[in-house]
């Protein structure tokens, strides 16, 4: 993961890949040899898009997200929401952090040769091992399999960094070696989740999160890796789409099962409609702004990249919450209507606030536009207490927020056009 680079100016500089000896190869040159030097790609490379391997990587990661969501549903439905959310946060961090590390590394160094592909496939195998251990981590607090899957992914990433270091020189080589060392040292620390007693594990998790997040800042202290702004924005956007798709899939399966087993269509239609409106609004709100331009011109990319932990986790948790709401509606969940509604409204509000804080607010003009998402988040929380219609009400509030934001933006653009025409007429 190379997000530490964004603490510097994202524009090309003498220390960036534009002048690095390792980045002299042209990105447009034919890639025919099966093994090539793993050199940095250019930040200004044209037409940079996600590769088929990256898309395959994302789809496999969603398997682990689906397992974490299913375990969260079980914990909340059984009345163990506090412990379930804690376990979910811990497991989701491992999934998200491994995904993000690969994404930023690939943005800077993907050469698509055979070794690169093989090591990436090893990382995919690691996340599948991690997914296999999710239920044990939730049910028995046994993190051995999760740790093993994470170890496979991290060893593969360290190998990528060592390969990049071999092809690099000077400060770039030092940065790559720091990344590899940091990744390996953190894996030793994560052993605490396996060997220490259960009461100590939340503290181990907190300490290791801080350690992991610090690795990029230490590694890129002297050299900024050449991640590509448009590519990064696209990769995050595609993963957001995949997570929202998993949310719809999970909710659809839950509704189908409830209809088949309990014949409760009347109780489920409001939940289904409200859930769809929430997911549709989430998609609209996330993609309404061209965030790659902000990443190219601002040092906020560092915070933006890390902050997506909350966006991804809350988006996936919305699907889990909809499943809980369905189970409660048909009488199979051991929680109140209010608690089941909160399982949907709380992650929805968190998603809205985080998207606003990370990038939507940078494109809003005037107080009215700035207040749309924060006010919507508060109203969604208020919907929690509306009983059986809570999810539908939350969905309608989100849809209204989209309509309001679109109207305000259109009016602002119309005023700008009018002012521009008047200025041109005077000129």
Phi/psi of residue 47, each to 5°? 55, 40
Smallest CA-to-CA distance from 107 within 211, 209, 238 is with: 238
Tell me how far apart the alpha carbons of residues 312 and 50 are, in angstroms, rounded to a whole number: 19
With contact defined as beta carbons under 8 Å apart, do 161 and 179 qualify?
A: yes
Write out pLDDT tens, residues 369-427.
788 899 999 999 999 999 889 999 999 999 999 999 888 877 777 776 676 766 666 65
With contact defined as beta carbons under 8 Å apart, do 290 and 327 qualify?
A: no
Tell me how far apart the alpha carbons of residues 263 and 90 are, in angstroms, rounded to a whole number: 36
* Domains of the chain as residue ranges with CATH: 3-11+48-227 (no CATH), 230-426 (1.20.1410)
pLDDT value for 20: 41
Write out pLDDT tens, residues 42-84.
877 888 888 899 999 999 888 889 989 989 998 898 888 888 8
- For residue 172, is pLDDT > 80? yes
State the average pLDDT over residues 329-338: 87
- For residue 142, is pLDDT > 70? yes
Tell me how far apart the alpha carbons of residues 13 and 17 are, in angstroms, rounded to a whole number: 8
Write out pLDDT tens, residues 244-288.
998 888 888 888 887 777 776 777 889 989 999 999 999 999 988
């Amino acid at each position: 993961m190379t997000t530490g680079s964004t603490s510097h100016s994202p524009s090309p500089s003498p220390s960036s890949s534009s002048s690095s000896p390792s980045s002299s190869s042209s990105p447009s040159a034919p890639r025919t040899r099966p093994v090539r030097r793993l050199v940095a790609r250019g930040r200004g490379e044209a037409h940079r898009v996600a590769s088929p391997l990256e898309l395959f990587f994302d789809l496999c990661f969603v398997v682990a997200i689906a397992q974490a969501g299913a375990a969260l549903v079980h914990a909340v439905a059984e009345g163990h929401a506090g412990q379930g959310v804690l376990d979910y946060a811990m497991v989701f961090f491992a999934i998200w952090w491994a995904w993000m590390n690969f994404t930023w590394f690939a943005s800077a160094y993907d050469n698509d040769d055979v070794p690169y592909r093989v090591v990436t496939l090893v990382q995919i195998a690691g996340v599948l091992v991690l997914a296999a251990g999710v239920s044990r981590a939730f049910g028995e607090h046994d993190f051995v399999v999760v740790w093993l899957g994470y170890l496979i992914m991290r060893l593969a990433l360290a190998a990528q960094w060592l390969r990049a270091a071999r092809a690099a020189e000077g400060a770039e080589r030092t940065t790559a070696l720091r990344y590899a060392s940091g990744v390996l040292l953190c894996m030793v620390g994560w052993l605490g989740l396996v060997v220490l007693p259960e009461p100590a594990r939340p503290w181990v998790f907190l300490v290791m999160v801080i350690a992991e997040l610090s690795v990029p800042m230490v590694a890129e202290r002297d050299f900024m890796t050449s991640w590509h702004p448009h590519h990064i924005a696209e990769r995050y956007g595609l993963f957001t789409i995949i997570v929202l798709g998993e949310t719809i899939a999970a909710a659809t399966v839950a509704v189908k099962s409830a209809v088949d087993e309990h014949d409760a269509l009347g109780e489920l239609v409001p939940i289904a409609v409200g859930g769809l409106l929430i997911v549709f609004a989430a998609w609209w709100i996330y993609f309404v702004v061209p965030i790659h331009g902000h990443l190219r011109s601002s040092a906020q990319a560092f915070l933006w990249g890390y902050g997506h932990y909350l966006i991804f986790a809350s988006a996936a948790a919305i699907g889990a919450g909809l499943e809980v709401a369905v189970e409660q509606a048909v009488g199979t969940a051991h929680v109140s209507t209010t608690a089941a509604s909160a399982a949907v409204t709380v992650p929805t509000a968190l998603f809205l606030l985080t998207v606003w804080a990370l990038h939507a607010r940078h494109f809003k003009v005037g107080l009215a536009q700035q207040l749309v998402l924060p006010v919507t988040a508060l109203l969604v929380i208020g919907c929690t207490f509306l009983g059986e219609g809570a999810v539908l009400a939350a969905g309608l509030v989100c849809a209204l927020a989209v309509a309001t934001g679109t109207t305000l933006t259109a009016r602002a653009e119309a005023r700008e056009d009018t002012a521009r025409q008047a200025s041109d007429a005077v000129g």
